[in-house]
A and B are shown apart, each in its own frame.
Chain A
Amino acid sequence: MSENSAPLIIGFLCNWCSYAGADMAGTSRAAYPSNIRILRVPCSGRVDPMMIVKCFQEGADAVLVAGCHPGDCHYNEGNYYGRRRFALLRELLDFMGVERERFRVEWVSASEGKRFAKIVTDFTNEMTKMGPRKAS
């Protein structure tokens, strides 16, 4: 867990929609808290549940996965598979004591810069309220 009490949020953004959406947030100067660290992935379907578990095991406070809206996936189907995996993973994590709130999945299109900023802001505030993870 990061020393400073500010929560560490790791974000996996799909290259085609959400990463571009985050860029849009930048170009439209939509400010949001600086806690999030962003990784670029080709598709939300590329985000391996193992990777997310690893984030938490290693002490991240929260994980955000963002991809194209259903139906808009650059690879047609990636986010549909992702959706199923994440739905189950979140249950498992919660069951093992990682509160479901800490793992968020969002569909953010390339044009939703402001929305991306809002999502990150809300998420960060929520995490700050919850405080750092217990255990491990």
Chain B
Amino acid sequence: MASDFTQQIREKARELLEDGTVECVIGYETGSDGISARPAFIYNAADVERLVFDNTCTHNLVKYLLNKKAKSTAVVVKGCDSRALNLLLSERQIERDKAFVVGVVCPGIVESRWNERSEQLQKRCDWCRQHTPVVSDFMVGDPVTEQPPADFADVAEEEAKTAEERAAFWQQQAERCIRCYACRQACPGCYCTDCFAESLDPEWVGIRIAPAESQMWNTIRAFHLAGRCISCNECERVCPVNLPLSLLNRKLEQKVLELFDYRAGMSEDAPAPLITFKKDEKLGIAE
């Protein structure tokens, strides 16, 4: 099946490059360990054979579209990636007419480890309710019926603790954070050229490496993604010290679903919950 996906992607890529629809196709190729895929940028039809698609294609290529100078580009997107695409379209970071979207019905992505095969599905795939891309100009694979809502067992588990335990838990996490900002770089929702975290005036996050500052960073990072996070779990996957970052996003995702019946990136025009409102909604504050 995967190989057949690869074929379809290659053919489409060739066609797009030959008839000049796009000047670059962003897809996946086999990495240097000969196992796990890495992003590939194809400019000539001759090179399309490099393209592959399999269950190691973990990267969200949508982020490469953020370069506004680029001309028309084709990009291969999985279900979750497509939600990121919608998010960025709605926030006007990508010009739709310059992007040709090759949607791939995602088979599920495995944990990629250097130089070894893994059949272990990634965490995000357990949560995933969107294997079929929500936006695409060309679809590879047949749309699948999606699973019922993911339950938020992980969140519930954390909430079972006392406030004191939770405080302590996040305190420990904060102590381990080295503020390398890998989470930010990997996140499709984090694209600001100047991040609040590096602003010296106002100094929201002090430059000293201290738990309080890291706590501040992690909290606001999560909150800036409230109602925007497409739960791809990249932040957590790339974290060098394995902080449970998604847990924060998941908590907010759950609440956003409950209060606003909203899932980020499902459509290009549904406004994110924090930039809209209903006059007579009950949200459990000041009532």
Contacts and interface: CB of A to CB of B under 8 A. Distances in A.
A77 B277 contact: yes
Range, interface on chain B? 35 or more
A85 interface: yes
Interface stretch (A23-31, A35-43, A46-54): A46-54
A91 interface: yes
Contacts of B155: 95
A50 B220 contact: yes
A81 interface: yes
Given A53-B216, A54-B204, A97-B170, A91 B279 contact: no
B255 A57 contact: no
A49 B280 CA distance: 22
Contact of A92 (B171, B252, B260, B275): B252
A136 B158 CA distance: 19
Chain B residues touching A, majority SS: helix
Given A49-B223, A54-B204, A92-B251, A87 B284 contact: yes
B46 interface: no
A134 interface: yes
Given A53-B220, A80-B277, A95-B251, A136 B212 contact: yes
Contacts, number: 110
A96 B248 contact: yes
B167 A135 contact: yes
Interface in B101-154: none
A80 B279 contact: yes
B220 A88 contact: no
Contacts of B227: 88
B248 A136 contact: no
B71 interface: no
Nearest to B212: A57
B162 to A, nearest CB: 9
A93 B166 CA distance: 10
Interface in B80-113: none
B164 to A, nearest CB: 5
A12 interface: no
A96 B252 contact: no
Interface string A78-109: 00110111111111111111110000011100
Contacts of B273: 84, 88
Given A57-B215, A83-B285, A88-B274, A95 B166 contact: yes
B185 interface: no
- Report, nearest first, the 6 A-B pairs whose CB atoms are least far apart: A97-B167, A80-B277, A87-B283, A97-B166, A135-B167, A105-B285
29 contacts: A49-B223, A53-B216, A53-B223, A57-B215, A58-B212, A77-B277, A81-B277, A83-B277, A83-B286, A84-B274, A85-B274, A87-B255, A87-B259, A89-B223, A90-B285, A92-B222, A92-B252, A95-B251, A96-B219, A97-B163, A97-B168, A97-B169, A97-B170, A133-B167, A134-B164, A135-B164, A135-B171, A136-B167, A136-B171
Interface of B: 155, 158-159, 163-171, 196, 204, 211-212, 215-216, 219-220, 222-223, 226-227, 248, 251-252, 255-256, 259-260, 273-275, 277-281, 283-286
